[in-house]
Amino acid sequence: MIQDIEPHVFKNQYERRSPEGEDFVFAFKGRNLLIKKDEDRIYVPRVKDISAAEDELIYIFAIDDKRFYIYFPAEEKEIELQGFEYATLRTLRAAQPMALSFAGETAWHLYLWYRDNRFCGRCGSRTQFHLKERAMECPECGNVIYPKIAPAVIVGITDGDSIVVTRYKGREYKGIALVAGFCEIGESMEDTVRREVMEEVGLKVKNIRYYKSQPWGFDQNILAGYYCELDGERKITRQEDELSVAEWITRDELQEQTNIISLTAEMIENFRRNGNINK
Ligand SMILES: [Zn+2]
């Protein structure tokens, strides 16, 4: 998966640092990211390549000894750099090196949070960087705002050698998916699994088992993957406004998932190869 970048090490400890020439900078515009592309390889600009004031760069994390910043000017500004372009974030889903893709989507998650918290949601004053931890702080009312991470579940519904796959309506991603959805306040993740399965495909499930999780900065999520088994009627009632397809498919019919950056792809491939490992 995209976060599995071994032997590289992701270091997200909060620090306030001054940028150095060789450090990397992620600059965003809309849902696009400033990169240079060479087939599926991507390159990210360095501090020395761009003209940015020190206070326009926020240190976010390091991978090994490579440090990453986001470009965060007080007013929206665009960087123009020879050979680089603002490419859609989706580019990262099929780009090399994967550690840089992971860095890019995680930077995007942090960028959105910084962007959306320039002002205090309690009193409306301009916020400041917290000195000791990754948080924004309101100098007027003391409100401390931490990064927002939205939990969501991915669900593999199985019945013997079959699994329910879906296709979303009106999304850029056209491949097969699994039932998925955000946790609502007051729910356990298992509650979310039961509710989303019922809403999207109208099935009852049992034996809900946790599989793995994944940080998914593209949509500001932490994803938790669960497998579960059909409990009762096999007939699918598709949620028509969200899904264009929802169907049972057998392990033999599933195509090998070759690009396993997402938890969804990993869960589908795991089921294709190993069947229901929960039994
Ligand atoms: Zn405030």
pLDDT tens per residue across span 123-144: 999 999 999 999 999 999 999 9
As a whole number of angstroms, the distance between CA 57 and CA 50 comes to: 11
Confidence of residue 169 (pLDDT cuts 50, 70, 90): confident
The CA 124 to ligand 1 mean position distance, Å, reads: 6
Cα(137) to centroid(ligand 1), Å: 8
Say whether 13 sits in a helix, a strand or coil.
coil
pLDDT of residue 173 exceeding 80, the answer is no
Q: Specify whether the backbone of 56 is left (phi greater than 0), alpha (psi in -120 to 50) or beta.
A: alpha
* Interacting residues of 264 by C-beta distance below 8 A, sequence separation 6+: 154, 177, 178, 180
Predicted local confidence at residue 249, as pLDDT: 96
Q: 76: pLDDT confidence band, cut at 50, 70 and 90?
A: confident
Residue 279 has pLDDT above 70, yes or no: no
Query: 277: pLDDT confidence band, cut at 50, 70 and 90?
Result: low
pTM of the model: 0.93
Mean pLDDT for all residues in the chain: 95
Alpha carbon distance, N-terminus to C-terminus of the chain: 24
Q: Is the pLDDT of residue 253 over 70?
A: yes
DSSP string of 31-81, one letter each residue: TEEEEEEETTEEE--BGGGS---GGGEEEEEEETTEEEEEE--SS------
Residue % of the chain over a pLDDT of 70: 99
What is the pLDDT confidence band of residue 174, given thresholds at 50, 70 and 90? Answer: confident
- Give the architecture-level CATH label for domain 10-115: Alpha-Beta Complex (3.90)
CATH tag, 150-274 = 3.90.79.10
Residues 50-54 have a mean pLDDT of 92
**What is the band of 278 on the pLDDT scale with cuts at 50, 70, 90?**
low
Own/partner contacts of 38-42, CB < 8 Å, gap of 24 or more, are 40/94, 40/95, 40/96, 41/95, 41/96, 41/97, 42/91, 42/92, 42/95, 42/96, 42/100, 42/101, 42/104
Q: Where are the beta strands (DSSP E) in 103-193?
A: 128-129, 136-137, 144-145, 150-159, 162-168, 179-182
Distance 110 CA to ligand 1 centre (A): 21
Task: Determine the Cα–Cα distance for residues 226 and 153; give it in Å rounded to an integer.
Answer: 7
The strand pairing partners of 226, in sequence order, are 155, 210
Question: What is the Å distance from ligand 1's center to 276 Cα?
Answer: 50
pLDDT of 83: 95
Instruction: Give Cα 222 distance to the centre of its chain.
Output: 7
State the DSSP H helix or E strand holding residue 207, giving kind and residue range, or none if neither.
Answer: strand 205-216
In the chain, the amino acid numbered 232 is G
| For residues 47-59, average pLDDT | 94
Compute the distance from residue 185 Cα to the ligand 1 centre, in Å: 24
221-230 and 28-29 as β-strands: parallel, antiparallel, unpaired? Answer: unpaired
